[in-house]
Structure formats: structure tokens, C-alpha cells
Structure 1
Amino acid sequence: MVLARRLVQLYLGLALYGFSMAMMLRASLGLAPWDVLNQGIDRHVPLSYGTVSMIIGAAVLLLWIPLRQRPGLGTISNVFVIGLTVDAGLALLPTLHGLPVRAAMLAGGILANGLAGGLYIGARFGPGPRDGLMTGFARRTGGSLRLVRTVIELSVLVVGWLMGGQVGVGTVAYALAIGPLVQFFLPLLTVPHANDSSGAQRDGAGRDHAGRVRGGAVHETARG
């Protein structure tokens, strides 16, 4: 029963994460760093945004090999489910006009993204590809998670922006809001171990996220 709940929560969270990304894309007010990179690449290739997201996610997973990171079901699912659902969301959501409507869509997308992060991280099936990359580099280099995450995310943000990805108020709003949002939702949504009511306290994904929040780092589309 617990496993069934975890699976449902994992895939619901990942699907919501992809849809929340589509909401922020339709708001057109700025994106999270990795999404800026996705959008920048998407402008130069004949592929959908979701396909680009999946390709980048798979490429990031390849970097786990020298870092000796071990992916979980959630890590692999993250790559494909988010890519598919962001494309579905873009097909369903109309192009928006008018700043108030776009701002409301942005706010809703960030809130949904925070909820989605709490759902899929709380399911305890492993971190997202980008989260694992950052924690792996931090462990290998001995640098702080805050520093490693900041360097990587600023790098992908700049590359994405140079390629035409959108940086704006949404980028700043996401950076400021996503940590507190996931920190709020995660304790409510973490599925406890069968023999441990503390749940996330011993869970790798929980420790990863808690470290990111305490370190003041910016969350990536969880996808982490």
C-alpha cells in the first residue's frame, strides 16, 4: 500500500512539474536557469521544448557515471515524464496577452512547481538528474552545495540567455520562492518509511532538498 502511494505520488508530482513549467513558459516573464537553457536550445533546433528537456536530462545523467551517482526510479522517470507533460501543457495552454494574466499564470506556475517538488521528492525514489549532478560535484570537489549549485546554475543561465532563453522577473521570483515553497510542502508530503515515522529525516532525497534549502540554493525545475 505504501509503495502504491509512493508511485502515484511520484508520477503525479512529475506530471504536475511538467505542467507547471508549461505555465511559466506561457507566462513569458522569465524562467528558472535550466529552463532558460532548454528554451535557448529549443530556439535553434527543430525539436519540441519537452524533447530538448529530455535530451538535456539524459545528458546530465551521463555525467553521473564519473561522479559515481546511482539513479533511482524517480531519477529516470524525471527525464521522460516531465518532458512529455511540459509538451502536453504547452499544447493545452493558450498564448497569453496582458501583464495581469501573465503574472497570474507565473504565480500559479511557481506555486504548482513547489507543490510538485514536494510530491516527487517526498515519494523517495531518488533525486532529479540535475540535483544529483550538483550533489555529486559537491561531494567530489569538497565544495559547499551552495557554491557548486550557484556556479552550475549561473553557468546554464548565462548559456541559455546567450542562446535566446528568456530571463526576467520570473527568473528572480522563482529563485526567491521555490526553496520556501518546497520546504513547506515537503514535510507534509514525504511518505514515511514503513518502520520509521520520521520518513524524510533518513531519506537521501529529503537530505538533498533540505541541504539545498538551508544553503539558500535555487531549485531547478526538480527537476532537480
Structure 2
Amino acid sequence: MRKVLMWRWIFYFAGLLVMALGVSMTIKGQEVGIGPWDVLHVGLYKHFGLTIGTWGIITGFVIILATAAVLKEWPKIGTWLNMLLLGIFIDIFNWLLPDFTTFGAQLIIFIFGVIVMGYGAGMYISPNIGAGPRDSLMLLFVKKTGMSIKKVRTTIEVIVALVGWLFGGPIGVGTVLIALFLGQMIHYTLPQNRRVLMKIIGEQDEKVLL
């Protein structure tokens, strides 16, 4: 059992690290466009200062409190760690990665960033330790409205992107591409990572990932 728990946490932390790298790569290619939530975080950063990662933590904290109040229950520890670590990792990678001045270079880093982000998301979700604050918000609206995940996610991301744009966040073709295709990538990377994790911990422990 200790081995199972250890590997679940390894996949969780590694997935957050990979996902943060992907987010930072798309931010470095922001002339193409960035993810809807990152539009908001960059817009708040431009308008009020602090850092992009800090705004990710702040918005995540507000979402966690709101969803906890509605559901009358505290989320899993993984949700809190997602809120905190993803913001910290994004700031670290934003500092480490160089800036790209040409559109061609930004397009390349953006494309690879989306791929990395999709794989990281599938990796951190696979051990079922806790959904991120924004995924929890999406699931809450699905539960309350009865709408499909696709409709709820699209509606939330459109609203968030528009608010971020009003604060000066960058919207582009890439924003639409991330909104449309990131979920499709996770559809493939999540089961792939679960198969790898199950192979490591043993098929008999599959129930812990459900």
C-alpha cells in the first residue's frame, strides 16, 4: 500500500511540474494566444502587478472557497496542492525560459507548450488525488445545471477569457485552440498515464485510481 501511495504522489507532482512547464511555454508564445484562465492571470498581472503564478494561486483559492461553501465540504489535499504548486511552478518556469521575439519562434514554443500541457494534465489527474480548483468549479456547475461538461467548460472559459481580455490579457487563435483541443488531448493522455501507473503499482490496485 505504501508503494501505491508513493507512486500516486510521484505521478501527481511530476504531472503538475510538466503541466506548469507547458503553461509557461504557451505564455512565452502569447502572440499566438494563451489558455483562457491564463488570459485572466496575465491580465491581472498587467493591471495590478504581482506575478502570473501568484494570480493563479489567488483565483484558485477564491474558487476553492466558493465551491466548498456551495458543496459544504472541503476538497481533497490534492486540490489545495494544485492551487499552490502550479502557481509556484509557473513562475519558476516563466523565469527560467527565455523570451521569444519572433512570431515563428513563439508559434513553435506555443505548439510544443500545448502538447506538454496536455500530457502533464493527464499525468497529474491519473492518480486521482484531487482535481484542480478550476476543474472542481466545472464539475460543480455540471452538477447544479445538468449541462454537459463540454458546454459548462466552454461557457466558463469564454467568460474567463473575456474578463481577462478586459484587463489586458492576450487573446488569439491559440486561446481558441487550447479551449477546443486541450480536453481532447487529455482524453488520450489520461488513460495512457493510468495504464503506466497501473503497470507500476499492480493491476489489483486499479480501484484506487477510480
TM-score with structure 1 length normalisation? Answer: 0.83
Structure 2 portions without partners, runs of 5+: none
Query: Residue 17 of structure 2 is aligned with which of 1, 9, 15?
Result: 15
**Number of the residue aligned with 2:40:** 37
Tell me the CA shift for residue 149 of structure 1: 2.0
Per-residue deviation, 1:198: 6.8
Percent same amino acid at aligned positions? Answer: 34
Distance 1:159 1:185 in 2: 30
Structure 1 consecutive aligned stretches of length 4 or more whose deviation exceeds 6 Å: none
Alignment match, 2:98: 94
Q: Which residue of 1 aligns with 2:58?
A: 55
Secondary structure of 1:58's counterpart equals helix
Higher helix share: 2
In the alignment, which residue of structure 1 is the partner of 2:7? Answer: 5
TM-score, with length taken from structure 2: 0.89
1:153 aligns with 2:157: yes
Mean Cα displacement is larger for which, 175-184 or 41-50?
Answer: 175-184
Deviates more, 1:67-76 or 1:165-174: 67-76
One-letter amino acid matched to 1:2: V
Deviation, structure 1 residue 36: 0.6
Whether 1:82 aligns to 2:86 is yes
Instruction: Specify the code of the residue in structure 2 equivalent to 1:41.
Output: L
Shift of residue 17 of structure 1?
Answer: 1.3
Q: Name structure 1 gaps, 5 residues minimum.
A: 204-224
Q: In the alignment, is the contact (CA less than 8 A) between 2:9 and 2:127 conserved in 1?
A: yes
Contact 2:53–2:86 (CA under 8 A) maintained in structure 1: yes
RMSD of aligned Cα (Å): 1.8
- Residue by residue, what CA displacement relative to the aligned partner does 1:63-92 show, whole Å, maximum 9, x if unpaired? 112331541222111111110111111111
Letter of the 1:9 partner, please give it.
F
Q: Answer yes or no: is the 8 Å Cα contact 1:31–1:167 preserved in 2.
A: yes
User: Which residue identity is paired with 2:42?
Assistant: Q
AA at the equivalent of 2:185 = L
